[in-house]
């Protein structure tokens, strides 16, 4: 038995020998070597509870069927499924990619469901509200006449807003934020000799 490591067209030659007589014939054969499946996916984690729907984009290759375990007791065999999580927390999602010819491939990813109403936005004596926000964010607990560098990052880590503000009272107000798209953001405040970060949600 001959095993081929790659696909292609190959010439096969048969030599028939009897005594001093030899007869030779050749023909080309086409070999298609099955490729092993590779499981891969991305998702919109983290999601905000209670509307905690996660959508899974399947980027697997060389697979013809799939099995998903969302870590909360729900499963699916769809290519690009979604799952509605009924509680907050972290969950390990498993994707098994199959093609019936090669060994299966399995990928695990951790997703997170968060409840922003349960987050206490307080760090280094600073309090940030409201959360979720619409047009403005208030930072309370600032010492008057202190310089603060305020930066907002989107979920991918891209800076969407940065300002250096000198406080005139114990509060800073970031206004005109209605242009930001709905989603999850991180507010970073460099104040004094410390950096504070707050997870926020834009309605």
Predicted pLDDT of residue 50: 66
Q: Quick one: pLDDT at residue 68?
A: 98
* Fold type of domain 119-202: Immunoglobulin-like (2.60.40)
- Which class is 41-114 in CATH? mainly beta
pLDDT of residue 108: 97
CB 15 within 8 A of CB 24: yes
Q: Which of 119, 44, 118 is nearest to 84 (CA)?
A: 44
Residue-by-residue DSSP string for 132-172? SBSS-EEEE-PPTT-EEEEEEE-TTS-EEEEEEEE-SSSEE
Q: For position 117, what pLDDT does the model report? A: 57
Same fold, 41-114 and 119-202: yes
| Dihedral sign for Cα atoms in the order 116, 119, 120, 126 | negative
pTM more than 0.85: no
pLDDT per position as a tens digit, 18-73: 888 888 888 988 877 778 999 999 987 777 676 678 889 999 999 999 999 999 99
pLDDT tens by residue, the chain, 203 residues = 777 667 788 888 888 888 888 888 889 888 777 789 999 999 877 776 766 788 899 999 999 999 999 999 999 999 999 999 988 888 999 999 999 889 999 999 998 887 765 544 445 678 889 988 999 999 888 888 878 888 998 887 788 988 888 878 888 888 889 889 988 888 888 877 678 888 888 88
- Domain definitions of the chain by residue range: 41-114, 119-202
Quick check: bond before 46 cis, omega within 30? yes
Q: What is the pLDDT of residue 23?
A: 87
């Amino acid at each position: 038995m001959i095993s081929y490591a790659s696909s292609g067209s190959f010439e096969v030659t048969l030599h028939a020998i009897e005594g001093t007589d030899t007869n030779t014939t050749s023909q080309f054969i086409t070999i298609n070597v099955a490729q092993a499946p590779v499981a891969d996916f991305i998702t919109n984690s983290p999601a905000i509870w209670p509307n905690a729907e996660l959508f899974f984009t399947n980027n697997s290759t060389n697979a013809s069927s799939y099995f998903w375990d969302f870590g909360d007791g729900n499963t699916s065999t769809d290519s690009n499924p979604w799952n509605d999580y009924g509680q907050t927390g972290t969950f390990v999602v498993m994707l098994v990619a199959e093609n019936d010819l090669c060994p299966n491939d399995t990928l695990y990813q951790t997703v997170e469901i968060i409840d922003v109403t349960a987050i206490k936005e307080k760090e280094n004596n600073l309090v940030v509200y409201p959360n979720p926000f619409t047009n403005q964010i208030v930072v309370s607990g600032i010492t008057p006449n202190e310089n603060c560098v305020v930066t907002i990052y989107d979920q991918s880590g891209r800076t969407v807003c940065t300002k250096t503000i000198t406080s005139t009272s114990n509060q800073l107000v970031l206004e005109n934020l209605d242009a930001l798209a709905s989603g999850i953001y991180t507010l970073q405040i460099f104040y004094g000799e410390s950096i504070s970060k707050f997870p926020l949600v834009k309605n």
